[in-house]
Structure 1
Amino acid sequence: MHSWTDTLRFAFQPVVNLTTGGVAALEILARPEAGDVLAQARRDPELDGRVAAWAVRAASRKETLLPLHVNVFAGTLADLGRLADLREAVRQAGRMTWEITLDIGPPYTHVPRHVLLEAVAGLRAEGFRICADGVGDGDVPLRLLADLDPELVKLDASLLSRPAAVRAMRTFCEHSGALLSVEGVETETQCAAAVAAGAQLAQGQLFAPPARLPAADVYVPPVSPAVTAVPRSGPSVRQFVRPAALLPATTSAGRVRALLTGSPDVSGVLLVDASGVPVRSVHRSRFLLSMSGRYGHALYADRPAAKLGDPPRTVGVDATAWEVLDVVAGGDRDRTSDDVAVVDRLGRCVGVVRLADLVRALAESRVEEAAGLNPLTRLPGSDAITEEVDRRIAARRPFALSWLDVDHFKRVNDGAGFAAGDELIRAVGRVLQHAASEATRVGHIGGDDFLVLADPGGLDQVAASVLDAPWSAGGMAVTLSLATVLCAPGAVTDHRQAAACLAPLKQAAKALPGASWILGRAGLPGHEVRRGPGPMAAQAGCGAAEVG
């Protein structure tokens, strides 16, 4: 009688980083050649645990250094708890627990919630990473999803046709510190939608089909710059995370040398403690140079590799690319090419970022940003502001969107000349930039029209800077009008609704003589006159019926 292991084979599918185009990990997929082992495993937790352990052993025979994703049913965790067979397979394979992500899949129905959460907490304490798999195509309750607090959420590609649902999951991931992945991507359209939705990772037939051998190369279609929304503060470091080559802090120099000489793509090794926290960083070139000296191998081969390493450079998973550059710039010049370790909230390494990836992405974002700058003021146009509005809406951050212009600007051009008018516009732009705080975005949308996006608490400073100044052009006195809409979380769904709320406030501000400031609140009728002939109530604000 044949054992079930005789008919079970495994395939590897790359999990792709959508920014770098590199392979971030490998998901191990069970492929039974006869019978229905997976259906049995769904009903038999012990069998499912053995399949997971066998998957790790199969990966060890392929000698891949990439992190691994191993599938396990939620019911298995609730029944078996710590997955003893899997833990033993990881140990025998010479892997570390933090290199293994457990893709916990449905069904969740009838799985005791508290028992599942206890099992997940125990596995996480041992170093395993947790992924909520099959979200959008399974039965995972939202409350349970939040309580699982996964490091990764995998959405089914079918959700890409429902952008609102994907945006909601993106917001969940941003607040919980999880990465967002889309699985089952088969077309370039789906890939573009995943990027636009903010997913950092993806997998599917488009990139590479499941194969018996781990894929070294994957296809990632180029994405239009208009699709990618890069915050002005810099893209998140999550977009650039590569798998890290990790070894225990006590590893000998000889073992590190064997890893580096056998893996030419590995630029360095991080030595980590028992919890996965980086303690030393070994740079490929400097290490091999030390080992290749006249007595290098004899001196160092059996000694701890840590003696040839440096203190690790680390950033948190919430850092931006610019913060990584600050870390690099603040260190020794001879370590400029060192990888920077990305650590989670417990200090454990989740991967590394390379300087070349950051420089390339930031250069591209600056080129795109420069192309959208107004040639007169060198301020970004409306696209940059509206993209940031949508990001704040998705993050449920309150914000104030303001429109500013020069009263009767045509008279200024006709009476003082266009050169004086241009200088006035440049001066207004300079004052706005000077008054803006770190959280304020200023845009010049053409002519004498400006947009200002700020936190509600930063409004007064910006308003005073432009409304209290004595403006003139060619000897002609000039006044400005300002209209602001305050948007609480949930008050508007996108930048179009925010603009629709701002439009009547703009008209009300222009109707007042002299310097004026009108303030309204999205979803509420009426508006407040902050500057003008005198306080009064009006009905031209953005009521609920006017939004949409």
Structure 2
Amino acid sequence: MRSWTDTLRFAFQPVVNLTTGGVAGLEILARPESGDILAEARRDPELDGELAVSAVRAAARRETLLPLHVNVFAGTLADLGGLTPLHDAVRQAGRLPWEVTIDVGPPYTHVPQQALLDAVGSVRGQGFRISADGVGDGDVPLRLLTDLGPDLVKLDASLLARPAAVRAMRTLCEELGALLSVEGVETELQCASAVAAGAQLAQGELFAPPSRLPAADVYVPPRSPGALALPRSGPSVREFVRPAALLPATASAGQVRALLTGSPEVSGVLLVDAHGVPLRSVHRSRFLLSMSGRYGHALYADRPAAKLGDPPRTVGVDATAWEVLDVVAVGARDRTSDDVAVVDRYGRCVGVVRLADLVRALAESRIEEAAGLNPLTRLPGSDAITSEVDRRIADGRAFALSWLDVDHFKQVNDGAGFAAGDELIRSVGRALQRAAAGSMRVGHIGGDDFLVLTDPERLDPLAGSVLEVPWSAGGRRVTLSLATVLCPPGSVVDHREAAAALAPLKQAAKALHGASWVLGQAGLPGHEVLRGSRAAPAPAGCAPAEPGLG
């Protein structure tokens, strides 16, 4: 009689590091040739445990040294109270438990939560890592997820259509000390969404399909400058574009050699199609080394130069220098000196940039940025905020510009001393930095004045992070005032108009008592009082602190 093991095979799918482009691990997937053994394993914990053991043994037969991901149902862990046979199988395969991640999958409904938590503690004690699988498309309760404290959280790719949820999960993972992965990635657009939302790992058909042989090489699309991601500050790549040495994709190695030897200043050649789209990149040193070797000229001179080239590295003409460094950092280290092709919206090459030029310029910009930081809070000044405001206006993006300061700060300094006043300013700056996420930018423009630029939907968390805090300085209660101007697309032409629209809102906020918040919209009269009262009692900066505040 045939056993279920006779009709079961295993496939391996890479888990890809989105930052390095390398393979971070292999998930082992059961592939029955007949029947539905996975449905049986969901009902039979003993069978599910045997499947996990078989998966590890299958990986051992393939002699892969990559970390492994083994699937186990949540009910199996809760029922068995641990996976001792799996631990033994890992040791027998010559692997270490911390090289294996147990992907705990749904369903979680009707699984005794305490039993599950106890079992997770047991396998973690054996050295295994824990992944919460199927999040976003499964039934794992959020409270249980936090109690599990997984090392990795795997999201279903369908959640990428809700980027706010993915970003929220990234924040939760940071609190838990976990990595965030996205499963089922099939398109480059989904990959870009995963990167923009902060995922560190991913897997899916885009990178490599499940296969019987473990794959060490995967396809990772280059990061598209500006696609779905928010604009990054820094010099524009346009500042560094050099003329490109172009030859048709059909050029021979002899033609490339003639160009390079006749033009010592050329560091590489791009082979392009009839439309000017780069197809291959030929690096000067590597190419000439191949040609100068024994029989090199005889072997390659009349052959297509493309055979001695590499896939081109490209960035859009609107990219920043930092985004170019992202492209350079991905891939083989021996290609860090390669020219990066700059392409227009149609993919046509308009020139190249060199790493040395970028590093020099970025080092200078960092020095300039450091000089512009406020020495008290180490936050940038108004220039960093206003330049970002102008960038958003040019992109036609809605934004909210807020001004924040301490009420009656001079009286705080006079009554509590400048040291207490400085510590208060530092504390407010730290609170703003903690609240800053994604597109939010915080600047300290001097004294007790701060500027905050953010998306309109981020206003409530911003206000809560600073206005709901019981501030004090030297035992004296302190309140803050916040003024915000909403700037829909087309409402202002530059940062000066935005600042002018904010000025009367600042005065309105200062006229209120207590922690205050005034909201207005550029181009429209009036404003809305969201916090604070119009009464005018004694200055808040002089009132003694209540017990427990500080």
TM-score, normalization: structure 1?
0.53
What code does the residue aligned with 1:442 have?
A: V
Identify the residue that residue 263 of structure 1 maps to in structure 2. Answer: 263
Identify the residue that residue 419 of structure 2 maps to in structure 1. Answer: 419
Shift of 1:287: 0.8
Secondary structure of 2:294's aligned partner: coil
Matched-pair identity in %: 86
CA RMSD, 1 decimal: 2.0
Identify the residue that residue 73 of structure 2 maps to in structure 1. Answer: none
**CA–CA distance in structure 1, aligned partners of residues 253 and 416 of structure 2:** 76
Distance 1:390-1:279 versus aligned 2 partners, 3 A rule: closer
Shift of 1:458: 2.1
**CA–CA distance in structure 1, aligned partners of residues 277 and 292 of structure 2:** 29
Identify the residue that residue 383 of structure 2 maps to in structure 1. Answer: 383
Identify the residue that residue 498 of structure 2 maps to in structure 1. Answer: 498
1:434-475 Cα deviation digits (max 9, x unpaired): 212332221111111111122222222211111112222222
Alignment of 1:203-222 (within 5 A): none
Shift of 1:389: 2.5
Identify the residue that residue 242 of structure 1 maps to in structure 2. Answer: 242
1:357 aligns with 2:357: yes
Identify the residue that residue 464 of structure 2 maps to in structure 1. Answer: 464
TM-score, normalization: structure 2?
0.53
Identify the residue that residue 305 of structure 1 maps to in structure 2. Answer: 305
1:430 aligns with 2:430: yes
Q: State the 4+ residue runs in structure 1 displaced beyond 4 angstroms.
A: none
Identify the residue that residue 451 of structure 2 maps to in structure 1. Answer: 451
**CA–CA distance in structure 1, aligned partners of residues 299 and 492 of structure 2:** 66
Identify the residue that residue 315 of structure 2 maps to in structure 1. Answer: 315
Secondary structure of 1:532's aligned partner: strand
Identify the residue that residue 513 of structure 1 maps to in structure 2. Answer: 513
1:267-325 Cα deviation digits (max 9, x unpaired): 10111233322221110011111111222111211111122111211122232211110
Secondary structure of 2:533's aligned partner: coil
1:468-491 Cα deviation digits (max 9, x unpaired): 122222222221110111223333
Shift of 1:534: 8.3
Secondary structure of 1:523's aligned partner: coil
**CA–CA distance in structure 1, aligned partners of residues 408 and 303 of structure 2:** 78
**CA–CA distance in structure 2, aligned partners of residues 314 and 392 of structure 1:** 25
Identify the residue that residue 110 of structure 1 maps to in structure 2. Answer: none
Q: Which runs of 5+ in 2 are unaligned?
A: 1-230, 536-550
Secondary structure of 1:289's aligned partner: helix
Secondary structure of 1:514's aligned partner: strand
Shift of 1:249: 1.9
Identify the residue that residue 546 of structure 1 maps to in structure 2. Answer: none
Secondary structure of 1:244's aligned partner: coil
**CA–CA distance in structure 1, aligned partners of residues 286 and 431 of structure 2:** 50
1:127-146 Cα deviation digits (max 9, x unpaired): xxxxxxxxxxxxxxxxxxxx
2:511·2:534 contact (CA, 8 Å) conserved in 1?
Answer: no
1:473-518 Cα deviation digits (max 9, x unpaired): 2222221110111223333333333222222211111111111100
Shift of 1:242: 1.8
**CA–CA distance in structure 1, aligned partners of residues 464 and 450 of structure 2:** 16
Distance 1:354-1:506 versus aligned 2 partners, 3 A rule: same
Identify the residue that residue 51 of structure 1 maps to in structure 2. Answer: none
**CA–CA distance in structure 2, aligned partners of residues 498 and 251 of structure 1:** 54
Alignment of 1:263-302 (within 5 A): 263-302=263-302
Shift of 1:265: 1.2
Shift of 1:348: 2.5
**CA–CA distance in structure 2, aligned partners of residues 458 and 277 of structure 1:** 40
2:233·2:388 contact (CA, 8 Å) conserved in 1?
Answer: no
What code does the residue aligned with 1:520 have?
A: G
Alignment of 1:329-344 (within 5 A): 329-344=329-344
2:487·2:521 contact (CA, 8 Å) conserved in 1?
Answer: yes
Shift of 1:386: 2.3
**CA–CA distance in structure 1, aligned partners of residues 365 and 240 of structure 2:** 14
Secondary structure of 1:371's aligned partner: helix
**CA–CA distance in structure 2, aligned partners of residues 411 and 232 of structure 1:** 39
Secondary structure of 1:337's aligned partner: coil
Secondary structure of 1:438's aligned partner: coil
Alignment of 1:187-206 (within 5 A): none
Shift of 1:232: 6.0
1:319-349 Cα deviation digits (max 9, x unpaired): 2211110111122111111001122333332
